[in-house]
């Protein structure tokens, strides 16, 4: 088998060439045969290549050098062993819950390099990060200004905070658009003056900067640059309203990766080319000139590094249609089933790792073991003749995979997660039940108190 006679889709072929290798026994990740890894760790299984994580971090950091620092949005994949690689490379981490804070710390991230964003922060989570330290808290609404402001005063602290702003203009082109409409995320752009006034009531809250996140899965460099330009414009308005220089400008994540045939790859070179203009815009404003810029992508950094592998349990014909029924499905990979917010359900790149050069049969359905037609990972997919025990691999599965899936549904065991680095495979989450956390959740007490009490 080699890359010249593959029968996989053009996108899968391009991804294999860029991120994987092909050996005597088919697809390899980090130089190890996928078949051997499944034999060793069982199926289903998530596999990640540490070298790809490092390569992607370095490529993005190099493209943005002198413009913005890179934070990894840990929600894309909260396994601390993976986040630890980014931390080792120099990334900060963006978190959105108390448990993500514990995961970030477990990944070796210093508190100063952790940003806490996300709506509806709980009292126990706020307490945890304030007690243990956090770089910035991103305030998403007036309630949060009040609640965190009071807490900080009561604890006698000074805490750096940023205002997360819901921009008034829609960022076109992303799959999920978060600007220009009513939103639970951030403070509406038009309410910035009130937010600045509200902050003044709490001297313990030090306004450090602004945070924007206008959309995800953006594949067009021009759209991203335009969003960042608009972010700088908003930052200038905020600095003027607050009448102080800003210390940080968080431009959000949203950098996309191709999942479907015909989708482009985000052009880092085009981004690099657009940066001098943004740099000049920032330098020209004395209130922004010294601010640290940062981006906080998840998907782009980790998506291509991971694959989800399952084994065939049954091959069945029904009224002329071939069904491949595997031991894994949407309970481990909701996004690949098209049920994580996708408007149109289209297949992720799927390959049979042991049969990459075999003639394919079109119109195959690749489904999981759940009793619902939603549990379909491949629709009308071209896949070779396969039999029970053969493997199927979903590429581009490193982001929003396991942790974004209904792992308890039908109570199948959790898949293991394995990290391959330097030709060694390391179990980074054992297979098991879905309730085995990787951190001690008792650090975040569960309590309820009602505002009216």
Ligand X SMILES: Cc1ncc(COP(=O)(O)O)c(C=O)c1O
The residue written with tokens 């990766």 in the block is 257
Residue 216 Cβ vs ligand X, minimum distance, rounded to whole Å: 3
Minimum distance, C-beta of residue 76 to ligand X, in the bound complex (Å): 5
CB 227 within 8 A of CB 280: no
Decide: 145 and 199 in contact? Cβ < 8 Å.
yes
| Closest-approach residue to ligand X (CB) | 253
| Bond from prior residue into 44 cis (ω within 30 degrees of 0) | yes
What is the per-residue burial (b if ≥16 Cβ within 10 Å, else e) of 203-242? ebbebbbbbbbbbbbbbbbebbbbbbebbbebbbebbebb
Write the CA distances from 346 to 137, 185, 308, integer angstroms: 37, 28, 17
Q: For ligand X, which is the closer residue by CB, 8 or 87?
A: 87
Q: List the structure tokens of 193.
A: 């003056």
For ligand X, the closer CB: 185 or 366: 185
Return the number of the residue (35 or 398) whose C-beta is nearest ligand X: 398
Q: Shortest approach of ligand X to residue 256 CB, angstroms? A: 7
Backbone angles phi, psi at 240, to 5 degrees: -70, -45
- We find the least distance from the C-beta atom of residue 329 to ligand X, in angstroms, to be 23
28 or 100: whose CB is closer to ligand X?
100
CB of 298 to ligand X, least distance (A): 3
User: 121 in helix, strand or coil?
Assistant: coil
**CA dihedral over 331, 334, 337, 341, signed as positive or negative:** positive
Residue closer to ligand X (CB basis): 75 or 322:
75
Q: Among 221, 222, 225, which residue's Cα sits nearest to residue 275? A: 225
Q: Whole-number minimum distance, CB 77 to ligand X, in Å? A: 9
Residues near ligand X (CB under 6 A): 73, 75-76, 94, 117, 213, 216, 252-255, 296-300, 399
104/81 Cα distance (integer angstroms): 10
Phi and psi (nearest 5°) for 54?
-65, -45
- Stretch (H or E) spanning 315: strand 306-318
Nearer residue to ligand X within complex by CB, 15 or 255: 255
Q: Please, what is the minimum distance in Å from the beta carbon of residue 142 to ligand X? A: 18
Nearest to ligand X of 46, 366 (CB atom): 46
């Amino acid at each position: 088998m080699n890359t010249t006679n593959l029968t996989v889709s053009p996108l899968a072929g391009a991804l294999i060439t860029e991120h994987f290798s092909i050996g005597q026994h088919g697809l390899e990740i980090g130089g190890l045969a996928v078949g051997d890894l499944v034999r060793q760790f069982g199926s289903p299984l998530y596999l990640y290549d540490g070298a790809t994580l490092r390569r992607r971090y370095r490529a993005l950091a190099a493209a943005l050098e002198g413009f913005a620092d890179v934070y990894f949005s840990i929600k894309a994949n909260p396994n601390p062993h993976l986040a630890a690689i980014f931390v080792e490379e120099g990334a900060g981490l963006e978190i959105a819950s108390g448990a993500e804070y514990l995961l970030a710390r477990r990944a070796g991230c210093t508190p100063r390099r952790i940003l806490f964003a996300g709506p509806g922060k709980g009292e126990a989570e706020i307490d945890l990060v304030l007690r243990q330290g956090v770089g910035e808290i991103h305030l998403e609404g007036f309630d949060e200004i009040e609640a965190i402001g009071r807490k900080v005063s009561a604890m006698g602290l000074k805490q750096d905070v940023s205002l997360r702003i819901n921009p008034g203009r829609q960022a076109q082109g992303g799959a999920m658009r978060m600007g220009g409409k009513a939103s639970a995320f951030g403070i509406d752009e038009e309410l910035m003056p009130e937010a600045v006034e509200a902050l003044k009531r709490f001297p313990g809250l030090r306004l450090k900067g602004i945070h924007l996140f206008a959309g995800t899965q953006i594949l067009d460099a021009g759209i991203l640059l335009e969003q960042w330009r608009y972010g700088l414009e908003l930052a200038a308005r905020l600095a003027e309203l607050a009448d102080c220089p800003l210390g940080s400008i968080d431009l959000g994540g949203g950098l996309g990766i191709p999942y479907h045939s015909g989708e482009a790859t985000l052009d880092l070179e085009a981004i690099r080319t657009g940066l001098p203009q943004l740099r000049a815009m920032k330098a020209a404003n004395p209130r922004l000139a010294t601010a640290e810029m940062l981006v906080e992508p998840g998907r782009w950094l980790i998506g291509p590094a991971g694959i989800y592998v399952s084994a065939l349990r049954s091959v069945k014909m029904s009224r002329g249609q071939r069904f491949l029924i595997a031991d894994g499905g949407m309970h481990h990979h909701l996004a690949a089933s098209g049920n994580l917010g996708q408007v149109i359900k289209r297949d992720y790149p799927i390959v049979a790792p042991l049969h990459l050069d075999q003639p394919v049969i079109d119109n195959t359905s690749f489904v999981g073991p759940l009793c619902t037609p939603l549990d379909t990972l491949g629709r009308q997919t071209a896949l070779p003749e396969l039999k029970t025990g053969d493997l199927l691999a979903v590429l581009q599965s490193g982001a929003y995979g396991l942790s974004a899936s209904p792992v308890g549904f039908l109570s199948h065991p959790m898949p293991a997660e394995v990290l391959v680095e330097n030709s060694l495979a390391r179990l980074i989450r054992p297979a098991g039940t879905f309730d085995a956390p990787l951190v001690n959740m008792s650090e975040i007490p569960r309590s309820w108190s009602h505002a009216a009490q």
